Amino acid sequence: MDNTLTATHLHLKVGARQLIEDVSLTLTCGERVALIGPNGAGKSTLLRLLTGYLPTASGECSLAGRALSQWSPAALSRHRAVMLQHTQPGFDWPVEAIVAMGRAPWGQKGERDIVQQVLALTGCDALRGRRYTTLSGGEQQRVQLARSLAQLWRDDAPEGWLFLDEPTSALDLYHQQQLLRLLKRLTQKGKLHVCAVLHDLNLAALWADRILLLHNGKLVAQGAPGAVIQRAVIAKWYGADVLVGEHPGGDAPQVFLSA
Ligand SMILES: Nc1ncnc2c1ncn2[C@@H]1O[C@H](COP(=O)(O)OP(=O)(O)OP(=O)(O)O)[C@@H](O)[C@H]1O
Ligand SMILES: [Mg+2]
């Protein structure tokens, strides 16, 4: 199945505020896309539109050639999963049950082997019996990733679009690396496609094939990391005074704040 996701001329206005203005984009299968931009740029709002959590007032989003509005909620949930910026499940369940919730769109109970596999992949094995509300912020974030992967699991790996809103914001250095390596490994199989909002430009440059930069609801720059992570681009859209160099271990640009 061609899981290409397209958005054409998306607009969203709330009251007098234009939150999203004429955004068109195509997310191609197998891609790792980072969505960046300053606070309030509209990244979380755009993610909600792209995933069907917010209806489009104007413009259209489609997945595999079909408008999101024409998908049944269960079918859509089997093809795309979303990890939101702020997730509070509202009940105090054990971690294993939270992850198993990801299987709801498949109409099956249990599937313990899938739950075990995603817990292992995300380094959550030791958390399995803990109550979710007693976990640290970073632990909760890893469990939410496990739930999203469980939602997309087919046969022996996740398939479809995974949208992540700041998935590394609460993670320590080791777990940031583990998460990005895991997503790289899974996308290289060609069946999982990931679009992640990232504030850490250096992580975005190391990890993404393509970076989209949003500012005031508009897509103002996009391309390979080297085309977007440039001193003038960052200064213009973030207002930050930075230096941009090369990662010593590869060809990714890296950003340094000027003192
Ligand atoms: N329902 C709403 N009503 C009014 N304004 C809203 C609404 N939802 C979002 N906004 C505003 O739209 C703008 C974009 O919000 P959004 O959460 O998408 O930003 P963001 O790029 O994800 O920011 P951050 O990096 O801080 O997470 C913000 O200024 C926010 O205050
Ligand atoms: Mg946000």
What confidence score (pLDDT) does residue 112 get? 84
pLDDT band at residue 251, thresholds of 50, 70 and 90?
A: confident
How far is C-alpha 195 from the geometric centre of its chain's CA atoms? 4
CA distance 165 to 183: 14
* Domains contained in the chain, CATH given: 5-257 (3.40.50.300)
Q: How far is the CA of 174 from the centre of ligand 2 (A)?
A: 23
Residues of the chain with pLDDT > 90, as a percent, come to 88
CA distance 61 to 161: 14
Give yes or no for residue 217 CB within 6 A of ligand 1: no
Which residue's C-alpha comes closest to atom 27 of ligand 1?
39
What confidence score (pLDDT) does residue 91 get? 76
What do you get for the CA distance between the two ends of the chain, in Å? 49
What confidence score (pLDDT) does residue 190 get? 87
3-state class (DSSP) for residue 136: coil
55-92 tens-digit pLDDT: 888 999 999 999 999 999 999 999 999 998 777 777 78
Give yes or no for residue 43 CB within 6 A of ligand 1: yes
| Predicted confidence (pLDDT) at residue 110 exceeds the cutoff of 70 | no
Give yes or no for residue 86 CB within 6 A of ligand 1: no
Give yes or no for residue 39 CB within 6 A of ligand 1: yes
What confidence score (pLDDT) does residue 126 get? 96
SS3 content of the chain, % helix, strand, coil (to 5): 35, 30, 35
CA distance 178 to 127: 17
Q: How far is the CA of 42 from the centre of ligand 1 (A)?
A: 5
Rounded to an integer, the average pLDDT of 159-176 is: 96
| Pairing state between β 5-14 and 153-154 | unpaired
121-152 tens-digit pLDDT: 999 999 999 999 999 999 999 999 999 999 99
- Single-letter amino acid, residue 245: G
In the block, residue with structure tokens 């075990």:
116
Contacts of 190 (CB under 8 A, 6+ apart): 29, 30
Which residue's C-alpha comes closest to atom 17 of ligand 1?
44
What confidence score (pLDDT) does residue 184 get? 95
**What is the best residue among 12, 43, 169, 220 to mutate for testing ligand 1's pocket, by most ligand atoms within 8 Å of CB?**
43
197-247 tens-digit pLDDT: 999 999 999 999 999 999 999 999 999 999 999 999 999 999 999 999 999
Which residue's C-alpha comes closest to atom 3 of ligand 1?
14
Ligand index nearest the alpha carbon of residue 238:
1
Q: How far is the CA of 85 from the centre of ligand 2 (A)?
A: 6
Give yes or no for residue 124 CB within 6 A of ligand 1: no
| Predicted confidence (pLDDT) at residue 187 exceeds the cutoff of 90 | yes
| CA-based R_g, the chain, Å | 18
Q: Which residue has the higher pLDDT, 69 or 1?
A: 69
Q: How far is the CA of 49 from the centre of ligand 2 (A)?
A: 13
Neighbours of ion ligand 2 (CB under 5 A): 43-44, 85
What confidence score (pLDDT) does residue 109 get? 60
Q: How far is the CA of 48 from the centre of ligand 1 (A)?
A: 11
What confidence score (pLDDT) does residue 107 get? 86
28-63 tens-digit pLDDT: 988 999 999 999 999 999 999 999 999 888 999 999
Beta strands in the chain (DSSP E): 5-14, 17-27, 32-36, 58-63, 66-67, 80-83, 153-154, 157-158, 160-165, 192-197, 210-215, 218-223, 242-246, 253-257
What confidence score (pLDDT) does residue 259 get? 86
3-state class (DSSP) for residue 12: strand
Of 246, 124, 106, the C-alpha closest to 179 is 124
3-state class (DSSP) for residue 242: strand
Edge-to-edge strands, sheet with 5-14? 17-27, 5-14, 58-63, 66-67
What confidence score (pLDDT) does residue 122 get? 96
Q: How far is the CA of 48 from the centre of ligand 2 (A)?
A: 10
Q: What does the mean pLDDT of the chain come to?
A: 94
Beta strands in 47-125 (DSSP E): 58-63, 66-67, 80-83
Q: How far is the CA of 34 from the centre of ligand 2 (A)?
A: 13
